[in-house]
Structures are given as structure tokens and as C-alpha cells.
């Protein structure tokens, strides 16, 4: 899981990838954000299931 405290470092690292052009960096940011949303939704679903089963 990607933790919130690492987000600034992650975004800075992606932005500083000079080997990629702007379009590639934006794609990496988008994919990263999508993955974070998926992980957060999965965690929320897990917590909700845990609360209803116990």
C-alpha cells in the first residue's frame, strides 16, 4: 500500500524523471493515483466487511 507520507516524495520522483517526456510522466502519475484509489477502496471494503462480521 502507498502511504500518504510518501506521496510528496513519489510525485517529486516521477516529475524528475528526465528520461521520459511530459506525456509519460503524466501517465505514470495517473496510473499511480489510480492504484492508490484501488488500494484505498479495497481497504475500506475490508474494514466494512470486518465490522459487519464481528
Residue-wise pLDDT for 2-22, tens only, equals 566 677 887 788 778 777 788
pLDDT on residue 10: 79
Tell me the three state secondary structure of residue 3: coil
CB-CB contact of 1 with 39 (8 Å):
yes
Q: Which residue segment(s) compose the domain that 43 sits in?
A: 4-53
Rounded Cα distance between 20 and 14, Å, is 9
Q: What is the mean pLDDT of the chain?
A: 82
Number of domains observed in the structure of the chain: 1
Residue 42 has pLDDT above 90, yes or no: yes
Q: Give the mean model confidence (pLDDT) for residues 12-38.
A: 83
pLDDT on residue 4: 60
What the block records as the C-alpha cell of 20 is: 521520459
Phi then psi for residue 18, to 5 deg, are -75, -15
pLDDT on residue 48: 93
Amino acid at each position: 500500500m502507498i502511504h500518504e507520507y510518501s506521496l510528496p516524495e513519489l510525485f517529486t520522483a516521477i516529475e524528475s524523471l528526465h528520461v521520459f517526456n511530459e506525456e509519460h510522466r503524466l501517465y505514470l502519475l495517473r496510473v499511480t493515483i489510480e492504484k492508490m484509489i484501488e488500494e484505498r477502496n479495497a481497504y475500506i471494503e475490508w474494514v466494512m466487511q470486518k465490522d459487519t462480521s464481528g
